[in-house]
Amino acid sequence: MKSGKTIVTIIFLLFLLLGSVIGAIYTLDKMEVFDKEKAIYPKLAKIPGIGKAFSEKQVPYEVAKEEDLRNLKEAIEAKWEELEKKEIKFKEKEEEFNKREKELLAKEDSLLKKRQALEERIAQYEQEERKWAKLAIYYSNMSPDQAAAILENLDDQTIIEIFSRMKDSSVAVTMMKMDKERAAELSRKLVNP
pLDDT means over runs of 10, the chain (193 residues): 78 86 79 70 67 56 70 90 93 94 94 95 94 91 92 91 90 91 90 77
Other CB atoms closer than 10 Å to residue 25's CB: what's the count?
Answer: 15
User: pLDDT at position 85, please?
Assistant: 93
Identify the pLDDT of residue 2.
66
pLDDT at position 80, please? Answer: 94
What total number of domains does the chain contain? Answer: 3
Looking at the fold, whether 68 and 53 belong to one and the same domain comes out as: no
pLDDT score recorded for residue 1: 56
Flag whether 79 is in a domain: yes
pLDDT of residue 51: 59
- Do residues 42 and 71 both lie within one domain? no
pLDDT at 28: 77
d(CA 186, CA 77): 90
- Determine, yes or no, domain membership for 161: yes
Considering the domain boundaries, does residue 52 fall inside one?
yes
pLDDT at 102: 95
Collect contacts of 8-14 with beta carbons under 8 A, ≥24 apart: none
Domain encompassing residue 41: 1-58
Domain boundary among 58, 88, 104: 58
The predicted pLDDT at position 44 comes to 65
Query: Residue 56: its pLDDT value, please?
Result: 53
Same domain, 167 and 153: yes
- Specify if 66 maps to a domain: yes
From the CB of residue 166, how many other CB atoms can be counted at a distance below 10 Å? Answer: 19
pTM equals 0.45
Q: Which amino acid is at 117?
A: A
